[in-house]
Structure 1
Amino acid sequence: MSFDYILSVLKPMLEGAQVTILLFLIAIVISIPFGFLLTLASRSNIRMISWMAQGYIYIMRGTPLLLQLLFICFGLPMLPVVGEYLVLDRFVAACLGFILNYAAYFAEIFRGGLLSIDKGQYEASQVLGMNRWQTLTRIIIPQMFRVALPAVANESVTLVKDTALLYAVAVPELLHFAQTAVNRDFTILPFFLAAIIYLLMTLILSLFFKFLERRFKFE
């Protein structure tokens, strides 16, 4: 294969990678705070809120992400009465699916981080005269973040790889262009190029989280 061919294949694949990166950024920026809110809701003293949050987490973690994407993209428009108002752009629908799914996983990660904090930390903050909001923002969240950071990093790397599921809902991303080139040119080289691009993205992400771990002196 000539270098010119590699460049001709790489160009659309890199354009697809931009879609992959954009979806990742949108999903990670929204799903992490949403996941933390779900964690707080699941620990709420109001039973109805707690049950609803726990039920949501169970459903989203207990069903495949691909099924959720297919339901949002193709199932919602088929609902009676309201279906016609739920027709979403494919990329928007995919973003929604990833956010809703990964928020549930991050919620469980944050729950584990909260459970790892000694109850004495709460008692000490009360002795110091801190209210619940001050205790949460100054004492609990920083410690929880340090504990949860490795798991958040692993889940974020998984999110990068799961973006390949966009192919199943006809969103033209990296894998879509790789598959198109393979079918057109009868060569598996585009798959290897796609693998390299994915590896580069996950490497950069891993290095970023390693930096955060050193920054917070986790190691």
Structure 2
Amino acid sequence: MAGTLEKMIGWLPALLEGLKITLSLSVISVLVGLILSLFLALGKMSKNKIIQRLSGAYIFFFRGTPLLMQLYFVYYALPQINPAFTIKSRFIAAFIAFALNSAAYQAEIIRAAIQSIDKGQFEAARALGMSHAQTMRLIIIPQSYRRLIPPVGNEFIMVIKDTSLVSTIALVDLMKRTSQIQSSASTALVYIPAMIMYLLVTAVFTYVFNYLEKKFSVYE
């Protein structure tokens, strides 16, 4: 038992290196995805039919196809379409796939949050002579962010777990590092500390988002 514990402790530095990649990829992808999703959500709600359909097609495509397939497409298929599209960095390829995918899911979250605002506020803004853009920027979107915290938190937790997919393109995240140790040490016990790390990370971020949800609750 003592020997097994010593082995697990010895694996921690390597696993933590993998965890850094996992967290970096998750945070950057969700943040960039959140920025893109705002434009997609507004585009899908636009009165311009072309913008509306393009935004809707983007969301449908990325929500309707597996994330793993999107990752393979970005890293393996794009270079075959045109060598100029070759992405040498596995991290950047994974970031692009995850950010684009996350944007599609968060766009629906933002659209739902905006549409949950009382329509009377749109009418009041129009009565004051405000344009649609001013109404969205000054009145609607500032009120929507409180409603975004729980679903965006859930999306972030999902992305953290989904990053395990990047091991398939040999990006050394927590999952890939675990597999490497398992192969070199010829033991599956390394999955125990790896799972504990995933649990601790998701528990910490779940607590943070729950705290933010209570702090900025729309029901206060």
TM-score by length of 1: 0.93
The CA distance in 2 between the partners of 1:140 and 1:134, in whole Å, is 9
RMSD of Structure 2 on Structure 1 (CA): 1.5
- Residues 112 and 148, structure 1, Cα contact 8 Å, conserved in 2: no
The CA distance in 1 between the partners of 2:23 and 2:35, in whole Å, is 19
Bigger drift between 52-61 and 2-11 goes to: 2-11
Q: Secondary structure at the match of 1:171?
A: coil
Q: Secondary structure at the match of 1:158?
A: helix
- In the other structure, the counterpart of 2:85 is 86
Aligned-partner residue type, residue 167 of structure 1: S
Aligned-partner residue type, residue 198 of structure 2: Y
1:139-198 per-position Cα deviation (integer Å, ceiling 9, x unaligned)? 211332222321111111101100101111110110111111222223222111111111
- In the other structure, the counterpart of 1:144 is 144
- In the other structure, the counterpart of 1:50 is 52
- In the other structure, the counterpart of 1:179 is 179
* Overall identity of the aligned pairs, in %: 37
Runs of 4+ in structure 1 deviating by more than 4 angstroms, as ranges, are none
The CA distance in 2 between the partners of 1:19 and 1:165, in whole Å, is 13
Superposed displacement of residue 129, structure 1: 4.2
- In the other structure, the counterpart of 2:160 is 160
The CA distance in 2 between the partners of 1:2 and 1:109, in whole Å, is 45
Bigger drift between 40-49 and 66-75 goes to: 40-49
> Where do residues 5-154 of structure 1 align in structure 2 (5 Å cutoff)?
5-79=7-81, 83-88=82-87, 89-154=89-154
Aligned-partner residue type, residue 155 of structure 2: E
TM-score by length of 2: 0.92
Q: Secondary structure at the match of 2:23?
A: helix
Aligned-partner residue type, residue 214 of structure 1: K
- In the other structure, the counterpart of 1:212 is 212
The CA distance in 2 between the partners of 1:211 and 1:133, in whole Å, is 32
Superposed displacement of residue 2, structure 1: 4.0
Bigger drift between 148-157 and 102-111 goes to: 148-157
Bigger drift between 138-147 and 34-43 goes to: 138-147
